[in-house]
A and B are shown apart, each in its own frame.
Chain A
Amino acid sequence: MDQLNNYLFISAILFSLGVFGVMTRRNGIAVLMGVELILNSANLNFVAFSRFGGMNLDGHIFGLIVIVLAAAEAAVALAIVINIYNNLNTINVDEASTMKE
């Protein structure tokens, strides 16, 4: 387990799962969950590099910032989703993109 590659693989799998989710899901919130997976995988990489790069804590800072970004993104994205839902009464993203008021 004390190997960078392990973490990178896990992160890669998470990443591709996230991409899969983003691509295939129609529900806005589900897409968001996919994005969270991707962000998590990125974060895992940051921290892993930091750990194996001589316990350089810059990676942690990046991780922290990514988490903050994720929070901000989730807040705004969900607000948008809610807004779309308000207006179009659906949160399926492709429907939402085609429907015009």
Chain B
Amino acid sequence: MGVVHGEEMVLNIGPQHPATHGVLRLQVRTDGEVVSQITPYMGYLHRCFEKHSENVTYEQVIPFTDRCDYLSSMSMNFGYVVAMEKLMDIKVNNRVEHIRVVMAELQRIASHLLCTGVFGLDLGAFTPFLWALRDRERILDLFELTCGARLLYNYMWVGGLSHDIPTGFVESTFEFLDYFEPKVDELENILAHNKILVERSADIGVMPKDVAISYGVTGPNLRASGVKWDLRKNDPYSIYDKFDFDVPIGEGKKGTVGDCWDRFYVRIIEIRESVKIIRQALASMPKDGDVHQSLPKKLRPPKGSIYARTETPRGDLGYYIESDGSPIPYRVKMRSPAFTALSVLDEIGAGWLLSDVLAILGSLDIVLGEIDR
């Protein structure tokens, strides 16, 4: 006794599709517009990061880490150097730490800006996306001023930085922050509280706490589900324990805890928190200190292995580095946050409408470079 369902249709979203943020291919089964199953196919951007790491020296790995999560290269560098410094037991001086934190937080802002903008774009609001890009450009200017590159920096080195910050950097950063804060409010006003966006994202794609934890989802996605977990607070690396900031969690203001809207809004609050951290870090930055001070002459870590994790804009980034004593790593493995975020997609996305699936995908903020590596 059948009811007329439309036939099930197998639909390929991607690899070339405006909403997949790159070359992800989602194979969805739809019944009419309802998606009954989502199968992500990856590997369209597999660039052999781990293989490369086994073929180049330790410092040459850094440019390749850049290219994994190309939206937050600084944080990727950061994770790698933190791991390496742990492995080699290098202490860097305070100025370097401060600069690193400032850079990582600026990168977090840039990344979150893009994410919120793209989320708006996925839901059809074009303008906020461009505004977000406009402000992101200012951050890129700061990076460019520091190290000359706009997107892939190769800035943090094991034991230091490639360049010291230039004179005037602190002032321009403050200037940028002053300019930027009203813009966040504007972004929030036009996007976050817009009724249409709320309707499109609240109560959609709810990721309950235990699902998030059992899938190993981290970062803003986890926090949006109501888990107060942030490595910067819970397992502080670098000098994050010195700063005073909040870890925002999803509160389900417009719907259920852990819905798309929460994931989106947590990022906006995180932008504000990052601004706070940057202000503190800039204010307390030591005036002197050579950024090249503790650069090792030869990057040749002792035999052994290390796993270290840091908080990138997308969540826990773990590096497992195994060294056999030669200047070339024996193995570098990356635990990427976006990968777990993508794996949860079928769990929380099946059963929703096609448009919802794309909204959920947008709210998970994945970067293909990091998933496929």
Contacts and interface: CB of A to CB of B under 8 A. Distances in A.
Contacts of B1: 86-87
A82 interface: yes
A58 B1 CA distance: 48
Interface in B1-18: 1-4
Q: How large is the interface on A (under 10, 10 to 19, 20 to 34, 35 or more residues)?
A: under 10
A89 interface: yes
Contacts of A87: 1-2
- The interface residues of chain A, by DSSP majority, are classed as helix
A9 interface: no
Interface string A60-99: 0000000000000000000000100111010000000000
Nearest to B2: A86
Nearest to A85: B4
Nearest to A101: B1
Interface string A32-53: 0000000000000000000000
A48 to B, nearest CB: 41
A87 B2 CA distance: 6
A86 B5 CA distance: 9
Contacts of A89: 2
Contacts, number: 9
A101 to B, nearest CB: 9
Nearest to B4: A86
Nearest to B1: A87
Interface string B1-42: 111100000000000000000000000000000000000000
A70 B200 CA distance: 39
B6 to A, nearest CB: 12
A89 B4 CA distance: 9
A87 B3 CA distance: 8
Contacts of B4: 82, 85-86
Contacts of A86: 1-4
A63 B187 CA distance: 57
A86 B2 CA distance: 6
Interface in A3-22: none
B8 to A, nearest CB: 16
A85 B2 CA distance: 9
Contacts of B3: 86
Nearest to A88: B2
A39 to B, nearest CB: 26
A55 B143 CA distance: 83
A86 B4 CA distance: 6
A62 to B, nearest CB: 36
A8 to B, nearest CB: 42
A67 B321 CA distance: 78
Nearest to A83: B4
A87 B1 CA distance: 6
A54 B344 CA distance: 74
Task: Pick from A85, A86, A89 the residue with the most CB of B within 10 Å.
Answer: A86
Interface string B195-224: 000000000000000000000000000000
Interface string B225-260: 000000000000000000000000000000000000
A82 B3 CA distance: 9
A30 to B, nearest CB: 19
Given A86-B3, A89-B2, 7 more contacts: A82-B4, A85-B4, A86-B1, A86-B2, A86-B4, A87-B1, A87-B2
9 contacts: A82-B4, A85-B4, A86-B1, A86-B2, A86-B3, A86-B4, A87-B1, A87-B2, A89-B2
Interface of A: 82, 85-87, 89
9 tightest Cβ-Cβ pairs between the two chains A and B: A86-B4, A86-B2, A86-B3, A82-B4, A85-B4, A87-B1, A89-B2, A87-B2, A86-B1
